Amino acid sequence: MIIEALPAAAGGMAASAAEAVPAVEVLSAHKTYPNGTVALQPVDLTVREGEFVTLLGPSGCGKSTLLKMIAGLLEPSDGRLLLWRKPVQALQEAQRKLAFVFQSPTLMPWASVATNVRLPLDLAGITGAEADARVSNALALVGLGKFAGQLPRALSGGMQMRVSIARSLVVQPDLLLMDEPFGALDEITRHKLDAELLQLWQQQKLTVIFVTHSIHEAVFLSTRVVMMAARPGRIVDEVIIDEPYPRTPDFMVTPRFAQYAKQLQDSLLRVSEEADT
């Protein structure tokens, strides 16, 4: 499923972070379900345009809930969520778009790769040569240009996830929300897709919010990692990953990588122990 804002021009990285309007502002937003379960305490989070922010934390800490609230898929019980200073429902006024990549590819098994990628364009009424060009470009970006006519069952799990990512890119988003998209893949495929995602993030000048349970994935990908705790869900810590891009697998065996991973591991263990007491 792709969550697309109303059509608008693609945005770019701001010249100055100090002058830029934040891409995402979560302002004392919290979520309590009708049965009384407090999924999220009031959360405050600002994501600058062009950041790659990862939400990390134990199961049940509200990572996916927060991501879906940012996307407009869940309404907060109170507080506000703004994208470029506009409610998600009014994103057209900010001339921005968003896309959402779920944990599984959610592809139509009877439809070709190209048809799956074209779906959000069909829903937006974009047809003809423009749609053809967008689909071809999106498939080329994820390295699947030769597989446009294949059915999903003919593809590996990693390739199916690439199709899902292409389907998000076809709407030319400014904000890409990803809910643990590589969690079900083997380690080698996961590392390969992580590296490809970073290339797309830089090439397309995206703002990305990424959910994962993997400390190593969070360190490798992120400009900033936000740690969340459970029962109730809340933000308790954040770590700036102050390392240059592009990042290669060699980064993962450096002392700096190990230091970041240890810092996040200690934070994760601390919040997990607090949840058990």
| Token pair of 166 as six digits | 């292409």
Question: Within a domain: residue 134?
Answer: no
Question: Within a domain: residue 265?
Answer: yes
The continuous run of DSSP H or E covering 78 comes out as: strand 78-83
- Mean pLDDT, rounded, for 177-192: 92
Q: What is the pLDDT of residues 38-51, one digit of tens each?
A: 999 999 999 999 99
Question: Within a domain: residue 44?
Answer: yes
Q: What is the pLDDT of residues 153-178, one digit of tens each?
A: 999 999 999 999 999 999 999 999 99
pLDDT confidence tier of residue 277, bands split at 50, 70 and 90 = low
CA separation (Å) from 164 to 75, 174, 211, 264? 25, 17, 16, 29
* Residue 93 structural domain: 12-97+174-182+208-277
- State residue 11's pLDDT score: 36
pLDDT confidence tier of residue 9, bands split at 50, 70 and 90 = very low
Is 74 a residue whose pLDDT tops 90?
yes
Question: Within a domain: residue 52?
Answer: yes
- State residue 276's pLDDT score: 67
Is 186 a residue whose pLDDT tops 80?
yes
pLDDT confidence tier of residue 275, bands split at 50, 70 and 90 = low
Is 5 a residue whose pLDDT tops 50?
no
Is 220 a residue whose pLDDT tops 90?
yes
Question: Within a domain: residue 110?
Answer: no
Mean pLDDT of the chain: 90
Spatial separation of the C-alpha atoms in residues 173 and 97, rounded to whole Å: 5
Q: How many independent structural domains does the chain possess? A: 1
Question: Within a domain: residue 131?
Answer: no
Is 237 a residue whose pLDDT tops 70?
yes
Question: Within a domain: residue 222?
Answer: yes
The region of weakest confidence among 135-144, 152-161, 184-193 is 184-193
CB 66 within 8 A of CB 233: yes
Q: Find, among 130, 192, 186, 188, the residue nearest to 165 by Cα.
A: 192
Question: Within a domain: residue 67?
Answer: yes
Is 22 a residue whose pLDDT tops 60?
yes
Q: Find the CATH number of the domain harbouring 249.
A: 3.40.50.300
pLDDT confidence tier of residue 1, bands split at 50, 70 and 90 = very low
Q: Find, among 254, 199, 185, 190, the residue nearest to 218 by Cα.
A: 190
